[in-house]
Chain A
Amino acid sequence: MSNGLFILLCSGEHEKVQMAAMMASVAAVSERPVEVFVSMNALLAFANGLDPAERYHGGEFSELLRAKDAPDAISLLQRGKEFGDLKIWACSMALDVQGWEMSHLEKDLFDGPAGLTKFLSDAENGQLITL
Protein backbone atom coordinates (compact mmCIF):
# COMPACT_ATOMS: atom_id res chain seq x y z
CA MET A 1 0.00 0.00 0.00
CA SER A 2 1.34 3.41 -0.92
CA ASN A 3 1.61 6.14 1.70
CA GLY A 4 -0.07 8.70 -0.56
CA LEU A 5 -2.60 11.03 1.04
CA PHE A 6 -5.63 11.95 -1.07
CA ILE A 7 -7.90 14.74 0.13
CA LEU A 8 -11.30 15.25 -1.45
CA LEU A 9 -12.29 18.81 -0.50
CA CYS A 10 -15.91 19.70 -1.24
CA SER A 11 -16.86 22.08 1.54
CA GLY A 12 -16.27 25.80 1.22
CA GLU A 13 -16.41 26.26 4.96
CA HIS A 14 -13.28 28.02 6.10
CA GLU A 15 -12.62 25.53 8.88
CA LYS A 16 -12.62 22.61 6.44
CA VAL A 17 -10.56 24.44 3.82
CA GLN A 18 -8.07 25.27 6.59
CA MET A 19 -7.89 21.70 7.84
CA ALA A 20 -7.41 20.40 4.31
CA ALA A 21 -4.57 22.87 3.78
CA MET A 22 -2.98 21.93 7.10
CA MET A 23 -3.16 18.19 6.44
CA ALA A 24 -1.94 18.55 2.86
CA SER A 25 0.99 20.83 3.67
CA VAL A 26 2.18 18.93 6.74
CA ALA A 27 1.97 15.57 4.98
CA ALA A 28 3.77 16.94 1.92
CA VAL A 29 6.64 18.42 3.93
CA SER A 30 6.90 15.10 5.76
CA GLU A 31 7.88 13.46 2.46
CA ARG A 32 4.50 11.94 1.81
CA PRO A 33 2.97 12.43 -1.66
CA VAL A 34 -0.33 14.32 -1.47
CA GLU A 35 -3.11 15.08 -3.91
CA VAL A 36 -6.03 17.38 -3.23
CA PHE A 37 -9.17 17.33 -5.38
CA VAL A 38 -11.17 20.55 -5.00
CA SER A 39 -14.84 20.46 -5.93
CA MET A 40 -18.29 21.89 -5.14
CA ASN A 41 -18.32 24.89 -2.80
CA ALA A 42 -14.64 24.44 -2.01
CA LEU A 43 -13.78 25.62 -5.52
CA LEU A 44 -15.27 29.02 -4.74
CA ALA A 45 -12.79 29.50 -1.88
CA PHE A 46 -9.95 29.37 -4.41
CA ALA A 47 -11.20 32.12 -6.71
CA ASN A 48 -8.42 34.34 -7.97
CA GLY A 49 -7.67 37.61 -6.21
CA LEU A 50 -9.93 37.42 -3.17
CA ASP A 51 -8.92 38.97 0.13
CA PRO A 52 -9.35 36.78 3.23
CA ALA A 53 -12.66 38.37 4.23
CA GLU A 54 -14.09 37.49 0.80
CA ARG A 55 -12.43 34.08 0.57
CA TYR A 56 -13.15 32.55 3.95
CA HIS A 57 -16.64 32.01 5.34
CA GLY A 58 -17.32 29.85 8.33
CA GLY A 59 -18.37 29.75 11.94
CA GLU A 60 -16.85 30.75 15.21
CA PHE A 61 -13.52 29.18 14.46
CA SER A 62 -13.26 30.95 11.14
CA GLU A 63 -13.49 34.26 12.97
CA LEU A 64 -10.82 33.15 15.43
CA LEU A 65 -8.50 31.97 12.66
CA ARG A 66 -8.71 35.35 10.98
CA ALA A 67 -8.60 37.42 14.18
CA LYS A 68 -5.50 35.60 15.42
CA ASP A 69 -3.77 35.62 12.05
CA ALA A 70 -3.43 31.83 11.85
CA PRO A 71 -1.46 30.54 8.85
CA ASP A 72 -3.49 31.24 5.71
CA ALA A 73 -4.79 28.14 3.88
CA ILE A 74 -3.55 29.31 0.48
CA SER A 75 -0.10 30.05 1.92
CA LEU A 76 0.06 26.64 3.57
CA LEU A 77 -0.75 24.92 0.31
CA GLN A 78 1.90 26.99 -1.47
CA ARG A 79 4.44 25.92 1.15
CA GLY A 80 3.40 22.30 0.72
CA LYS A 81 4.00 22.57 -3.02
CA GLU A 82 7.31 24.35 -2.49
CA PHE A 83 8.73 21.93 0.08
CA GLY A 84 7.02 18.68 -0.80
CA ASP A 85 5.15 16.60 -3.36
CA LEU A 86 1.69 18.19 -3.39
CA LYS A 87 -0.64 18.29 -6.35
CA ILE A 88 -3.92 20.19 -6.34
CA TRP A 89 -6.60 19.48 -8.90
CA ALA A 90 -9.71 21.45 -9.79
CA CYS A 91 -12.78 19.32 -10.40
CA SER A 92 -13.63 19.68 -14.09
CA MET A 93 -17.34 19.30 -13.40
CA ALA A 94 -17.31 22.08 -10.81
CA LEU A 95 -15.38 24.35 -13.20
CA ASP A 96 -17.88 23.68 -15.98
CA VAL A 97 -20.95 24.22 -13.77
CA GLN A 98 -19.46 27.46 -12.48
CA GLY A 99 -18.48 28.50 -16.01
CA TRP A 100 -14.88 28.97 -14.95
CA GLU A 101 -11.54 28.40 -16.62
CA MET A 102 -8.38 27.62 -14.65
CA SER A 103 -7.54 31.32 -14.87
CA HIS A 104 -10.45 32.04 -12.51
CA LEU A 105 -8.59 30.18 -9.77
CA GLU A 106 -5.80 31.33 -7.47
CA LYS A 107 -2.64 31.64 -9.54
CA ASP A 108 0.20 29.06 -9.38
CA LEU A 109 -1.67 26.75 -7.04
CA PHE A 110 -3.51 24.22 -9.19
CA ASP A 111 -1.88 21.55 -11.30
CA GLY A 112 -4.80 21.46 -13.67
CA PRO A 113 -8.39 20.36 -14.06
CA ALA A 114 -9.11 16.71 -13.33
CA GLY A 115 -11.91 14.19 -13.24
CA LEU A 116 -13.05 12.16 -10.28
CA THR A 117 -12.39 8.80 -11.93
CA LYS A 118 -8.64 9.33 -12.17
CA PHE A 119 -8.45 10.79 -8.66
CA LEU A 120 -10.34 7.88 -7.09
CA SER A 121 -8.32 5.38 -9.06
CA ASP A 122 -5.06 6.90 -7.84
CA ALA A 123 -6.45 7.01 -4.30
CA GLU A 124 -7.21 3.29 -4.24
CA ASN A 125 -3.79 2.45 -2.88
CA GLY A 126 -3.46 5.40 -0.53
CA GLN A 127 -5.41 7.07 2.24
CA LEU A 128 -8.50 9.02 1.21
CA ILE A 129 -9.98 11.76 3.38
CA THR A 130 -13.11 13.72 2.50
CA LEU A 131 -13.90 17.17 3.82
Chain B
Amino acid sequence: MSERITIDARGAFCPGPLMELIAALKTRQIGDEIEILSSDKGSVTDIPEWCKKVKHDCLSVDEKEGYWSVLVRKAK
Protein backbone atom coordinates (compact mmCIF):
# COMPACT_ATOMS: atom_id res chain seq x y z
CA MET B 1 0.00 0.00 0.00
CA SER B 2 1.67 3.25 -1.09
CA GLU B 3 1.81 6.22 1.23
CA ARG B 4 1.89 9.93 0.61
CA ILE B 5 3.73 12.48 2.72
CA THR B 6 4.01 16.25 2.44
CA ILE B 7 7.20 18.22 2.97
CA ASP B 8 6.80 21.92 3.54
CA ALA B 9 9.94 23.51 2.11
CA ARG B 10 8.39 26.94 1.71
CA GLY B 11 10.94 29.58 2.61
CA ALA B 12 13.88 27.31 1.82
CA PHE B 13 16.29 28.56 -0.82
CA CYS B 14 17.50 26.57 -3.81
CA PRO B 15 18.69 23.81 -3.76
CA GLY B 16 17.14 23.24 -0.34
CA PRO B 17 13.75 21.91 -1.56
CA LEU B 18 15.45 19.44 -3.90
CA MET B 19 17.73 18.19 -1.13
CA GLU B 20 14.78 17.77 1.24
CA LEU B 21 12.95 15.78 -1.43
CA ILE B 22 15.97 13.52 -1.96
CA ALA B 23 16.42 12.95 1.77
CA ALA B 24 12.76 11.98 2.05
CA LEU B 25 12.89 9.65 -0.96
CA LYS B 26 15.72 7.72 0.68
CA THR B 27 13.39 6.68 3.50
CA ARG B 28 10.33 5.80 1.39
CA GLN B 29 9.24 2.65 -0.41
CA ILE B 30 8.86 2.37 -4.18
CA GLY B 31 5.40 3.66 -5.08
CA ASP B 32 5.22 6.14 -2.20
CA GLU B 33 4.39 9.72 -3.11
CA ILE B 34 5.99 12.86 -1.77
CA GLU B 35 4.33 16.22 -2.13
CA ILE B 36 6.88 18.99 -1.75
CA LEU B 37 5.72 22.56 -1.16
CA SER B 38 8.19 25.18 -2.32
CA SER B 39 8.22 28.95 -2.68
CA ASP B 40 11.49 28.76 -4.67
CA LYS B 41 10.81 29.46 -8.34
CA GLY B 42 13.83 27.45 -9.49
CA SER B 43 12.56 24.29 -7.81
CA VAL B 44 9.49 24.29 -10.04
CA THR B 45 11.65 23.33 -13.01
CA ASP B 46 14.56 21.77 -11.13
CA ILE B 47 12.56 19.05 -9.39
CA PRO B 48 10.84 17.76 -12.56
CA GLU B 49 14.17 17.87 -14.39
CA TRP B 50 15.87 15.93 -11.60
CA CYS B 51 13.08 13.34 -11.62
CA LYS B 52 13.47 12.91 -15.37
CA LYS B 53 17.22 12.51 -15.03
CA VAL B 54 17.24 9.96 -12.22
CA LYS B 55 13.99 8.28 -13.25
CA HIS B 56 11.50 9.01 -10.52
CA ASP B 57 7.97 10.03 -11.54
CA CYS B 58 7.03 13.68 -11.34
CA LEU B 59 3.24 13.41 -11.27
CA SER B 60 2.19 17.05 -11.09
CA VAL B 61 3.27 20.62 -10.55
CA ASP B 62 0.52 22.91 -9.25
CA GLU B 63 0.80 26.62 -8.65
CA LYS B 64 -0.81 27.77 -5.41
CA GLU B 65 -0.97 31.16 -3.77
CA GLY B 66 2.67 32.16 -3.29
CA TYR B 67 4.09 28.66 -3.67
CA TRP B 68 4.04 25.47 -5.74
CA SER B 69 3.08 21.92 -4.93
CA VAL B 70 5.18 19.28 -6.74
CA LEU B 71 4.12 15.64 -6.45
CA VAL B 72 6.78 12.97 -6.94
CA ARG B 73 6.40 9.19 -6.85
CA LYS B 74 9.38 7.05 -5.92
CA ALA B 75 9.95 4.81 -8.94
CA LYS B 76 13.13 2.97 -8.01
Contacts and interface: CB of A to CB of B under 8 A. Distances in A.
B50 A22 contact: no
A98 to B, nearest CB: 30
A92 to B, nearest CB: 30
Contacts of B26: 83
Contacts of B46: 26
Nearest to A70: B13
A131 interface: no
B31 interface: no
Contact of B50 (A30, A70, A71, A79): A30
Contacts of A71: 12-13, 15-16, 19
Interface residues of A, number: 13
B18 A26 contact: yes
A95 B16 CA distance: 31
Contact-residue bracket for chain B: 10 to 19
B60 to A, nearest CB: 21
A68 B16 CA distance: 13
A29 B13 contact: no
A76 B54 CA distance: 19
B64 interface: no
B54 A31 contact: yes
Interface string B50-63: 10011000000000
A11 interface: no
Interface of B: 12-16, 18-19, 22-23, 26, 46, 50, 53-54
Interface of A: 22, 25-26, 29-31, 68-71, 76, 79, 83
